Amino acid sequence: MAFDSFTDFVSMGGYGLYVWLSFFLSFVVLAGVALETLLAKRQLVKKSKQLQQRQQRLARRKASRAAVGDGNESKT
C-alpha cells in the first residue's frame, strides 16, 4: 500500500481532484460505449420482432386470399 490512511488515498497527495476526475470520466466514456452497445442490441430485438410480425401478417393475408379465391390478388 502506497498510502498510510484512506484520507491519504483520497487526497492523492493533493492531486485527488485530478486523479479521481480522470478515472471517473474515463469510466463514464467507456461504460457509455458498452451501455450504448447493449441498448442497440435491445433495439435490434424489437425491430426483429416487428419484422417477423409483418412477415406473418403478409403470409396470412396471402393465404386467406388464396383460400377465398375471389381473384382479388390479380385486381390489386
Partner 1 sequence: MWRWLHPYAKPEATYNLLQKLLPWFVALTLVTLVTGVVWGLAFAPGDYQQGDSYRIIFLHVPAAIFSMGAYMGMAIMGAVALIWQIKTAEWSIPAIAPVGAALTIVALLTGAIWGKPMWGTWWVWDARLTSELILLFLYVGVMALYFAFDDARTGAKAAAILSLVGVINLPIIHFSVEWWNTLHQGATITKFERPSIATSMLIPLLICLTGFAFLTVSLVMMRLKNEILRQELHRPWAQQKLEQD
Using the rule CB under 8 A, which residue among 7, 34, 71, 74 binds partner 1?
Answer: 34
Under the criterion CB under 8 A, does residue 3 sit at the interface with partner 1?
yes
Cell readout for 29 is 466514456
Q: Which residues of 35-51 are buried (b: 16+ CB within 10 A; e: fewer)?
A: eeeeeeeeeeeeeeeee
Q: How far apart are CA 12 and CA 41, in angstroms?
A: 40
Member of 4, 5, 7, 41 binding partner 1 (CB under 8 A): 41
Interface residues toward partner 1, by CB under 8 A = 1-3, 9, 12-15, 18-19, 21-23, 25-26, 29-30, 32-34, 36-38, 40-41, 44-45, 47-49, 51-52
